[in-house]
C-alpha cells in the first residue's frame, strides 16, 4: 500500500466515524437499528484487526514530509476515538437508558436489559485494543455499580469478571503511559457514565469543520506528540542506541524512540530484555530511515518582518536583505581615511 492509499483509507474511516457520531446526535432513535445489527461487536472486531495494522503502516511508510505524517496520525487517532464514541452512544441509548427507565415492577424487562448490557460488555473483553480506547471514554465501573444497586437478581461472579477485565485494561494503559511519559494525554478524552450520555460536543464537529487544521490540532493532538525533538536531537538519540546495537537499522531505532517518547534509555533496556511491544517486535530490524525532505523555500507572497519594514535605508546600495551584490569596498569602520579638512563644519562659518 502506498502512502497516498493509506492516507485515503485513514481519512475515509475518520469521515465515517464522525458522520455516524453526528447522525446519532441528531437522531438518537437510530441507535436501536444499529444495536439490532450487532454494530458494537462488529466495530470492535473491525477495530481490533485493522487499527494496529494501520498504526504500524504509518510508522513504516516513507512520507513526503513530517507534517503530512503527523496529519495522518491525527486523523487515525480521531478515527479511533470516533468509532469508540459511536459504540458508547449506542450502548447508552439502547442499554443503559432502558435500565434506568424500566420500572421496578417489570422485573422481566429490567433483567433483560441488564443481561443485554452485560453480555455486550463481556463480548468486548477479548478485543483488547478497542477496549483500551472504549474504557478510557466510558466509566463502565459506574454503570455496573448502578446496575447492581437497581436489582438483587444479578450474577455477581459475572459482573466481577467484567470489572476485573476492565481494570486490567486500565492498569495496562496507565503502565504504558508511565513508560512513555504521556500521563496527560488521557485528559483530553471524553468521559461518561450511566446517568449522563456522553457529550458529543467535544468530539463531533460539523462536516465542514472536522477537516480543518484547527480541529485536528485541538482534538487530534492527544495521540500525537506536540513537543517532538528536533532532527539533530533525533540523530543523537539514534546514535546513542546504535552504539550498543550497531546491527539495527536507523528506521527501526527511530520507530522505537517514537513509541517510547524518545527515551533512549528505556529503548535500550527493553531491547536488551526483549520486551518491545508486539508492533515493534514485528517490525523489520534492518529498516532504514526515510529520506529527510529538503527545507521548504519561503513563500514570497507571505509577509515577514523584512517585507513589512519601512525605513530610509530600504533598498539602498548597502541593504543586504534585498541585494546580493553589496560593494564591500565602500564599507569602512570609523572615520574614512583621507583629507579630514575636505569637509568643513557649517558652524565655523557662523
HSE-CB for 94 with a 13 A CA cutoff: 25
Q: What is the pLDDT of residue 163?
A: 82
What's the CA gap between 114 and 98, in Å, rounded? 9
Which of 17, 154, 35, 164 has the alpha carbon at shortest distance from 98?
Answer: 35
Stretch 195-207: mean pLDDT: 41
Cβ(111)–Cβ(151) below 8 Å: yes
Place of cell 469543520: 209
Write the burial class of residue 338 (CB in 10 Å: 0-12 exposed, 13-18 middle, 19+ buried): exposed
Cβ(19)–Cβ(207) below 8 Å: yes
Q: What is the pLDDT of residue 203?
A: 43
246-250: Cβ within 8 A, 24+ apart: 247/285, 248/285, 248/286, 249/284, 249/285, 249/286, 249/287, 249/288, 249/289, 250/287, 250/288, 250/289
Hey, how many other C-beta atoms are within 10 angstroms of the C-beta on 165?
19
Q: What is the pLDDT of residue 174?
A: 63
Q: What is the pLDDT of residue 173?
A: 65
Between 112-116, 156-160, 283-287, 308-312, the lowest mean confidence (pLDDT) is in 308-312
Q: What is the pLDDT of residue 23?
A: 93
Q: Give residue-wise pLDDT tens across range 25-73.
A: 899 899 999 999 999 999 999 998 899 888 888 888 888 888 888 888 8
Q: Give residue-wise pLDDT tens across range 257-301.
A: 888 888 887 888 788 777 888 778 888 888 887 765 555 555 555
What's the CA gap between 266 and 179, in Å, rounded? 8
The three-class DSSP label of residue 7 is: helix
Q: What is the pLDDT of residue 42?
A: 92
pTM: 0.53
Q: What is the pLDDT of residue 298?
A: 55
| Alpha carbon distance, N-terminus to C-terminus of the chain | 87
Amino acid at each position: 500500500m502506498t502512502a497516498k492509499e493509506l492516507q485515503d483509507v485513514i481519512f475515509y474511516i475518520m469521515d465515517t466515524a464522525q458522520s455516524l457520531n453526528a447522525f446519532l446526535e441528531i437522531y438518537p432513535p437510530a441507535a436501536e437499528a444499529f444495536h439490532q445489527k450487532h454494530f458494537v461487536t462488529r466495530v470492535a472486531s473491525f477495530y481490533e484487526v485493522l487499527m494496529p495494522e494501520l498504526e504500524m503502516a504509518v510508522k513504516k511508510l516513507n512520507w513526503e514530509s513530517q507534517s503530512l505524517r503527523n496529519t495522518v496520525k491525527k486523523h487515525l487517532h480521531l478515527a479511533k476515538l470516533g468509532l469508540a464514541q459511536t459504540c458508547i452512544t449506542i450502548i447508552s441509548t439502547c442499554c443503559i437508558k432502558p435500565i434506568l427507565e424500566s420500572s421496578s415492577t417489570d422485573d422481566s424487562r429490567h433483567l433483560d436489559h441488564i443481561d443485554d448490557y452485560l453480555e455486550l460488555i463481556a463480548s468486548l473483553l477479548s478485543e483488547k485494543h478497542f477496549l483500551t480506547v472504549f474504557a478510557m471514554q466510558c466509566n463502565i465501573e459506574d454503570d455496573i455499580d448502578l446496575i447492581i444497586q437497581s436489582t438483587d437478581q444479578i450474577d455477581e461472579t459475572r459482573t466481577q469478571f467484567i470489572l476485573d477485565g476492565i481494570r486490567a485494561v486500565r492498569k495496562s494503559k496507565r503502565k504504558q503511559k508511565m513508560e512513555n511519559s504521556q500521563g496527560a494525554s488521557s485528559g483530553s478524552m471524553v468521559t461518561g457514565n450511566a446517568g449522563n450520555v456522553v457529550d458529543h460536543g467535544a468530539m463531533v464537529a460539523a462536516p465542514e469543520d472536522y477537516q480543518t487544521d484547527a480541529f485536528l490540532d485541538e482534538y487530534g493532538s492527544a495521540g500525537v506528540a506536540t513537543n517532538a525533538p528536533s532532527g539533530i536531537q533525533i540523530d543523537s538519540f539514534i546514535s546513542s542506541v546504535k552504539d550498543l546495537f550497531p546491527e539495527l537499522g536507523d528506521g527501526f531505532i527511530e520507530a522505537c524512540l517514537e513509541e517510547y517518547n524518545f527515551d533512549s534509555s528505556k529503548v535500550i533496556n527493553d531491547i536488551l530484555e526483549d520486551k518491545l511491544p508486539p508492533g515493534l517486535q514485528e517490525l523489520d530490524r534492518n529498516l532504514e530511515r526515510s529520506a529527510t525532505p529538503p527545507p521548504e523555500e519561503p513563500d514570497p507572497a507571505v509577509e515577514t518582518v523584512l517585507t513589512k519594514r519601512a525605513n530610509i535605508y530600504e533598498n539602498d546600495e548597502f541593504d543586504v536583505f534585498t541585494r546580493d551584490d553589496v560593494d564591500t569596498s565602500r564599507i569602512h569602520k570609523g572615520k574614512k581615511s583621507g583629507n579630514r579638512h575636505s569637509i568643513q563644519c557649517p558652524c565655523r562659518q557662523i
